Amino acid sequence: MFNLNDYPLPFRETELEPYMSAETIKFHYGKHLATYIANLNKLIADTKYANMDLREMIINSVGDTNAEKIFNNAAQIFNHEFFFNCMGRGNNAVPDIISDAFGGVTEFKEKFKTIANGVFGSGWVWLTHDAAKGFEIIATKNADTPIAHGIKPILTLDLWEHAYYLDFQNRRADFIETFLESLIDWKFVISNMNI
C-alpha cells in the first residue's frame, strides 16, 4: 500500500509564495497526488505489481497495454514526488556544472523554456543526465517518465494545467519562467545528481 505520508513535502504549504500559492500546493499535493496514490492502491491489489516498489512497477508496466492505468498512476506518483522535491527557496543559482554544459546560464534557461513551451497538452519537462550523453533537456507526455526508459532525471517541471492554473491561468510561459527564476531548489538537484 502506498500512502501520501510516505511522500512528505520538503516545504510548508505557504513557503513557495508568492511564486506558487498554498492553494496550488493544497490541491496539487493533497488532491492530485493523493488521488494517484488511491488509484494505484486499488489497481495493484491482487496483481503481480502488489509487492513491487514504485520504480519496479514503472519499469515492468511501461508499454504494456493491459497495465496502462498502473503505469500512469505509478509514474505520476514518482514524477510528483520528484517535482515537489525540486522546489524550495533560497538556492536559485544554476550550478556551474549545469550551466557550463549548455554554454551559460542564459543558454540553459532559454533551452529549458523552448522545450517546456513546446509541450502540447499535459506533460513534463526534464533535465536529465547520462554518462555518455551528459546533460539533456527533454519533454515527456502525460505520465511518461525518464526512469521508464533508463534515463536519469535531475530536475523536472510539471506542465499539466493543474500545476499552474490557479496561479497563472493561461499564462503557462510565465509559470515556466517563475519556476526557473524562483522555485528550483538547486541544492536538491545537485544532491540528486550523484555524478
Q: To the nearest whole angstrom, how small is the minimum distance from the Cβ of residue 21 to Mn ion? A: 15
Q: What is the H or E stretch that residue 157 is in?
A: strand 152-158
Say if CB 31 and CB 194 are below 8 A apart.
no
Q: Which residue is nearest to Mn ion (CB)?
A: 158
- Is the CB of 135 or the CB of 179 nearer to Mn ion? 179
CA distances from 157 to 66, 121, 153 (A): 28, 14, 11
The footprint of Mn ion on residues 116-175 (CB under 5 A) is 158, 160, 163
What is the pattern of x (binds Mn ion, CB under 5 A) and - over residues 69-98?
A: ------------------------------
- Is the CB of 158 or the CB of 185 nearer to Mn ion? 158
Q: To the nearest whole angstrom, how small is the minimum distance from the Cβ of residue 105 to Mn ion? A: 27
- Is the CB of 94 or the CB of 148 nearer to Mn ion? 148
Q: What is the H or E stretch that residue 187 is in?
A: helix 186-193
Q: To the nearest whole angstrom, how small is the minimum distance from the Cβ of residue 99 to Mn ion? A: 27
The backbone region for 104, taken as left when phi is positive above 0, alpha when psi lies in -120 to 50, beta otherwise, is left
- Is the CB of 112 or the CB of 124 nearer to Mn ion? 124
b/e 108-118 (16+ beta carbons within 10 angstroms → b): bbeebbebbee
- Is the CB of 24 or the CB of 135 nearer to Mn ion? 24
Q: To the nearest whole angstrom, how small is the minimum distance from the Cβ of residue 11 to Mn ion? A: 16
Binding residues for Mn ion, rule CB under 5 A, total 3
Q: To the nearest whole angstrom, how small is the minimum distance from the Cβ of residue 104 to Mn ion? A: 30
DSSP 86-154: TB-SS--SPPHHHHHHHTSHHHHHHHHHHHHHT--SSEEEEEEEETTTEEEEEEEETT--GGGGT-EEE
Q: To the nearest whole angstrom, how small is the minimum distance from the Cβ of residue 140 to Mn ion? A: 13
- Is the CB of 112 or the CB of 160 nearer to Mn ion? 160
**Which chain residues interact with Mn ion by CB under 5 A?**
158, 160, 163
